[in-house]
Amino acid sequence: MASVSSEIFIGIDVGSVTTKMVVLDADNLEMVDSVYIRTSGNPLISLRIAMKRLAGTSPRPTVRAAATTGSGRNLAARLINTSIIKNEITTHTLAAVKTMKEVRTILEIGGQDSKIIIVKDGMARDFAMNTVCAAGTGSFLDQQSSRLGIKVEDMGEIALSSDNPAPISGRCTVFAETDMIHKQQIGIPMNDIIAGLCRSLVRNYLNSVARGKLITAPVLFQGGVAANKGIVREFEEQTGHKCHVSPYYGVAGAYGAALLASMVEGKREEFRGFEMLDGNYRIDSFVCKKCEERCSVLRLYRDGKPVSFWNDRCGIYSTGRSAH
């Protein structure tokens, strides 16, 4: 990490595929560093890697406040000790508005989910998410690039070299794979197949995630898939709008979380993220039988002792009202 101010704000976005961290200088809110690593099914390890990088700064900065987002936001919040926890809609909107004040539509496609956010007067007014069908997410491109024997990072440039995208079903990954294999077998050029995959992903997104939503310019594209120029081209052709790619597209959620941390006034909890470098952490769960809800309560251990509970709807464990 480069030299930073003695005081910082950080935002952490723990997703199912990647973990992102953004560091903002507390004096001017400029982004001074970012981390983008694979979660690899173990958010504890990915967060520890992020904390190790942050701790490696000399002198070690003071974290004035931190916020978390993403599917693993509650776990991350317990590990670093913060109560500033927000969903991806809020954090992606904050990042987008900070990047492009006049933004009206946010397109976001990540590894395992995708979303559309309609913005008015700098606030999210409507949104929709896809967390079920992989055909409208980055994993769709990952799977198909693997089958084609190319790097997913190269798909965008290859797609741009095609003037005749092959028609490929975008209803689901199974149909897409069958269609793609058939196109290969009959000799359709590789670049046309890849361009067709990009077209089918965008078509699937617009017909499912964005269905019923009025896409209005300016349009800002966020999420890891925004790096794919073939996808950007397809969004522009299929929506008729210029598709601006955020300069922070890969870490937009974490950027928004860091901005949120900077906005919260008053005394904040003491940051304990650096403790992750020394302690031995593990997580287990149990079913609470104190009422008919039967919540699956998550329990975090540090050095063999339970230090935090969450996912109990009534809060009996997470607020300390139970003797555990």
Q: What is the pLDDT of residues 239-291, one digit of tens each?
A: 999 999 999 999 999 999 999 999 988 778 899 999 888 878 888 889 998 88
Same domain for 50 and 112?
no
Of 222, 245, 268, the residue at which a domain comes to its end is 245
What is the reported pLDDT for 301?
Answer: 84
Query: Each residue of 144-170: b (16+ CB within 10 Å) or e?
Result: bbeebeeebeebbebbbebeebbebbb
Same domain for 267 and 287?
no
Same domain for 76 and 172?
no
* Strand ranges across the sheet with 114-120: 123-130, 114-120, 105-109, 219-222, 243-245
Query: pTM of this prediction?
Result: 0.86
DSSP state of 254: H
Same domain for 137 and 227?
yes
Q: Say if residues 159 and 144 touch (Cβ distance below 8 Å).
A: no
What is the number of domains present in the chain?
Answer: 3
The two structure tokens encoding residue 276:
């992750």
C-alpha separations of 229 from 152, 153, 226 in Å: 12, 10, 7
What is the reported pLDDT for 157?
Answer: 93
Of 190, 224, 245, the residue at which a domain comes to its end is 245
Same domain for 156 and 221?
yes
The two structure tokens encoding residue 23:
């560091």
How far is it, in rounded angstroms, from Cα 150 to Cα 170? 20
Dihedrals φ, ψ of 86, to 5°? -135, 155
What is the reported pLDDT for 172?
Answer: 63
Same domain for 158 and 220?
yes
Same domain for 5 and 132?
no
DSSP state of 214: -
C-alpha separations of 51 from 13, 67, 135 in Å: 13, 14, 33
Same domain for 192 and 317?
no
Q: Tokens 């993220």 map to which residue? A: 273
Of 245, 268, 288, the residue at which a domain comes to its end is 245
Give the number of other CB atoms < 10 A from CB of residue 173: 18
140 Cα distance to chain centroid: 16
Same domain for 166 and 269?
no
What is the reported pLDDT for 110?
Answer: 82
Same domain for 108 and 240?
yes
Given a cut of 50, the residues of the chain with pLDDT beneath it are 1
CATH number for the domain that contains residue 80: 3.30.420.40
- State which residues form the domain around 310: 279-324
User: Would you call the peptide bond into 218 cis, given omega within 30 degrees of 0 as the criterion?
Assistant: yes
The two structure tokens encoding residue 154:
């190269």
What is the reported pLDDT for 61?
Answer: 87
Q: Say if residues 206 and 239 touch (Cβ distance below 8 Å).
A: yes
Same domain for 230 and 109?
yes
Same domain for 225 and 308?
no
Cβ-proximal residues to 322 (8 Å cutoff; 6+ apart), any chain = 290, 316
